[in-house]
């Protein structure tokens, strides 16, 4: 009985290995084993509707945890209800149990796949079959006695397993902690595309080596076949990932594709006298404030709401020495250095929504010799904060997105495919659609017709507080395609579906983005006779609040406490013989287009490298992994230089650049008369 089961497992492993190889070698079948960023439901030829329908049977990528629930439960049952007759298989059993429990923990608490990541149901079934087979084979091996002796080679293999398992755990943590715009760079990721897959292959190779290191039975050979299957399957998946990275060019796939930086405010607050007269200062406080304003128009009036949020507050950036109430000074330089929180909002003006987000650096200066005579001055400096987390060239925005939705009666299925999920001003945006009848419906109506398709891009204002309406939609672009014609059969849907492509250059408010684009200087060398020319484009620009960049005076995706801006692609289907329905797909809109993003990325990488050089890689990594903003401030605090004090004495007078002979002069002249 045991021998028959072992033989069946061997045949199953050989079949799985051959099946994976066939799927890889036959192009129409390639997509069955792809998932996540490599998965694209459009890879199957449109004329092969059987494969296309089967390919549409997908499950979320987070179903991976089901593999390890099954694996862990099986191994726990084996450990609980089997006798320890074989040292080799006893060791293998506990290695596999540790592997199952660790991977289960990682799938639940560490790895967080995107809700849009999908995998084909064939891949899902393949994983369940593999872990069922290896668990069953482990049980068969533990029920057969075998002469053994503990050897040094077994100790080495167990030690290698521990090291490899720890490395895989760290690799998974590294992948889970990656920022949106970064590539994996830890350890072996600098040499191979999927270091965590390499660790998995090594782990199952160790299991096979433990089973086959002495006499080989059929059960032991099955562990070797399992290792071969893991190597073949993960090598193919790793190759797909490697090819995926290559699509973005060599400078975006290596470990230096982008370096974590240190977003911060770094400046110096300079306090000087008006007429050379020393002043008495009590303290200097620094704040970073965010102001969000939104106006909701109404028939008779409008609703204006403004909210201020304090992001950073240091009430004592400067204070006198201990025991002194105030200090009489000629000048004061207060260095300012603090990190920006991860959830900081980008500065911007959104004309369609009549909303703005501004940031201000606030200096609070207290003067006076006693508390009764203390006077506080407040000076506000607008600053621009620009986020670069939505650049369209980042890899997560270049993952194909396929969404499927059925009508209310399940008669019609609409499929939308986006090759890119982020777009910038004037970027070309393409959406492929397919509307078909639902073959899985057992009571499908006859002659359902597609009458009209409407494609829209909408900007959505979502208000979170302040008594404002929760949602307001603005239509940026719309186009309609009609399928009615003289032929009455025109527009009739079938299971193959009606494909349609919508292509549009994304709307733009201004042409200021061209300032960031590199130009080919070779064009300047050509000799041309120009009769009339305009060196400056005529762009109508309204009044912009201080601190808002000219590139951020148009709509883009952002989130805040008072309001958030997001975008949606809307596909409206008008049908005959079935209820009309709409389909909405989220879209990320960046203030920078693709050409600008490629140009800016070089500057971003340079600034990130400069931050690591100035503060050290350990400090930058600590800030990235900080659990809260307060801890980030504490880490960067030691790098803030002390204030520079200019006392009322000739030495400091000269340091400020004044004429030394004019110090303490009573001629009554203003300070400008004494400046060299």
Domain boundaries, the chain: 2-252, 264-385+611-674, 395-515+547-592
Contact predicate 295/286, CB 8 Å: no
In this prediction, residues 513-531 reach a mean pLDDT of 50
Which parts of 26-63 fold into alpha helices (H)? 49-55
d(CA 148, CA 154): 11
Q: Is the pLDDT of residue 562 over 60?
A: yes
Q: What is the pTM of this model?
A: 0.62
**pLDDT, position 574:** 92
**pLDDT, position 395:** 77
Report pLDDT digits (tens) over 52-81. 666 667 787 778 889 999 999 999 998 887
Whether 264-385+611-674 shares its CATH topology with 395-515+547-592 is answered yes
Please provide the DSSP assignment of 485-526 as one string: -SSTTTTB--SS-EEEEEEEEPP-S-SGGGGGS---GGGGGS
Chain mean pLDDT for the chain: 81
The CATH number that domain 264-385+611-674 falls under is 2.60.40
Q: Is the pLDDT of residue 517 over 60?
A: no
DSSP letter at 213 equals S
DSSP letter at 35 equals B
In this prediction, residues 14-23 reach a mean pLDDT of 87
Contact predicate 518/596, CB 8 Å: no
Structure tokens, 5: 């089961």
Which top CATH class is 395-515+547-592?
Answer: mainly beta
CA proximity to 655, closest of 665, 666, 647: 647
Contact predicate 340/361, CB 8 Å: no
**pLDDT, position 61:** 78
Which residue's entry shows tokens 């940031």?
359
Least confident of 128-132, 211-215, 340-344, 663-667: 663-667
CA proximity to 46, closest of 501, 375, 480: 501
d(CA 488, CA 449): 10
* Per-residue confidence band for 87, with pLDDT thresholds at 50, 70 and 90: very low
Q: Is the pLDDT of residue 665 over 80?
A: no
Which residue's entry shows tokens 């899985």?
440
For the chain, what is the largest distance between any 2 Cα atoms, rounded to a whole number of angstroms?
114
Q: Is the pLDDT of residue 285 over 90?
A: yes
In this prediction, residues 174-192 reach a mean pLDDT of 66
Report pLDDT digits (tens) over 575-595. 988 889 999 999 999 999 888
Q: Is the pLDDT of residue 607 over 50?
A: yes
**pLDDT, position 96:** 93
Structure tokens, 364: 């609070």
Q: Is the pLDDT of residue 489 over 60?
A: no
């Amino acid at each position: 009985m045991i021998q028959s089961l072992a033989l069946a497992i061997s045949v199953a492993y050989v079949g799985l290995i051959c099946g994976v190889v066939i799927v890889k070698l036959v192009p129409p079948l390639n997509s069955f084993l792809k998932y996540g960023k490599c998965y694209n439901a459009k890879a199957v030829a449109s004329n092969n509707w059987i494969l296309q329908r089967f390919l549409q049977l997908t499950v979320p990528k987070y179903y991976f945890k089901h593999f390890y629930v099954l694996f862990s439960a099986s191994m726990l049952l084996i450990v609980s209800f089997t006798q320890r007759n074989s040292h080799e298989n006893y060791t293998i059993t506990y290695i596999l149990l540790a592997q199952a429990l660790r991977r289960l923990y990682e799938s639940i608490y560490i790895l967080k796949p995107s809700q849009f990541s999908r995998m084909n149901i064939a891949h899902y079934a393949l994983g369940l079959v593999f872990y069922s087979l290896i668990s069953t084979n482990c049980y068969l091996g533990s029920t057969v006695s075998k002469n053994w002796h503990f050897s040094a080679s077994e100790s080495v293999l167990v030690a290698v397993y521990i090291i490899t398992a720890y490395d895989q755990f760290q690799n998974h943590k590294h992948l889970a902690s990656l920022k949106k715009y970064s590539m994996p760079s830890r350890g072996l990721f600098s040499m191979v595309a999927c270091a965590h897959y390499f660790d998995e292959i090594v782990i199952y190779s160790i299991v096979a080596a433990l089973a086959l290191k002495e006499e080989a039975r059929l059960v032991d050979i099955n562990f070797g076949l399992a290792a071969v299957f893991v190597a073949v399957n993960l090598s193919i998946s790793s190759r797909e990932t490697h090819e995926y990275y290559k699509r973005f060019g060599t400078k975006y796939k290596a470990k230096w594709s982008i370096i974590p930086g240190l977003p911060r405010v770094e400046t110096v607050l300079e306090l000087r006298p008006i007429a050379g007269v020393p002043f008495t200062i009590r303290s200097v406080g620094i704040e970073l404030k965010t102001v969000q304003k939104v106006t909701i128009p109404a028939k008779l009036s409008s609703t204006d709401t403004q909210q201020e949020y304090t992001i950073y507050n240091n009430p004592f950036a400067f204070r006198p020495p201990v025991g002194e109430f105030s200090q009489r000074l000629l000048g004061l330089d207060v260095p300012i250095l603090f990190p920006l929180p991860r959830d900081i909002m980008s500065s911007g003006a959104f004309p369609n929504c009549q909303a703005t987000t501004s940031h201000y650096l606030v200096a609070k200066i207290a003067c006076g010799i006693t508390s009764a005579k203390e006077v506080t001055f407040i000076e506000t400096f607008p600053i621009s904060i620009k986020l670069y987390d939505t650049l369209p060239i980042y890899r997560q925005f270049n993952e194909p997105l396929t969404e499927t939705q059925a009508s209310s009666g399940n008669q019609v299925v609409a499929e939308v495919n986006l090759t890119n999920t982020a777009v910038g001003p004037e970027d070309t945006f393409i959406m492929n659609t397919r509307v078909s009848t639902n073959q899985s419906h057992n009571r499908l109506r006859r002659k359902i017709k597609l009458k009209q398709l409407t494609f829209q891009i909408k900007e959505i204002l979502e208000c979170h507080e302040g008594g404002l309406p929760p949602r307001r939609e603005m239509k940026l672009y719309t186009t309609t395609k009609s399928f009615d014609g003289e032929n009455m059969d025109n527009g009739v849907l079938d299971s193959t579906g009606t494909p349609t492509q919508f292509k549009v250059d994304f709307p733009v408010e201004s042409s200021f983005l061209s300032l960031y684009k590199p130009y080919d200087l070779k064009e300047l060398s050509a000799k041309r006779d120009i009769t009339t020319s305009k060196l400056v484009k005529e762009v109508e620009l309204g009044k912009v609040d201080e601190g808002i960049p000219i590139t951020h005076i148009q709509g883009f995706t952002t989130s805040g406490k008072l309001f958030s801006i997001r975008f949606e692609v809307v596909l409206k289907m008008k049908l005959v013989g079935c209820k009309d329905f709409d389909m909405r797909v989220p879209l990320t809109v960046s203030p920078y287009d693709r050409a600008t993003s490629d140009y800016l990325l070089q500057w971003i990488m340079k600034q990130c490298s400069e931050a690591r050089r100035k503060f050290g890689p350990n400090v930058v990594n600590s800030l990235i992994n900080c659990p809260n903003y307060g801890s980030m401030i504490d880490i960067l605090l030691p790098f803030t230089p002390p204030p520079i004090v200019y006392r009322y004495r000739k030495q400091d007078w000269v340091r400020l650049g004044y004429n030394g002979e004019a110090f303490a002069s009573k001629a009554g002249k203003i300070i400008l008369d004494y400046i060299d």
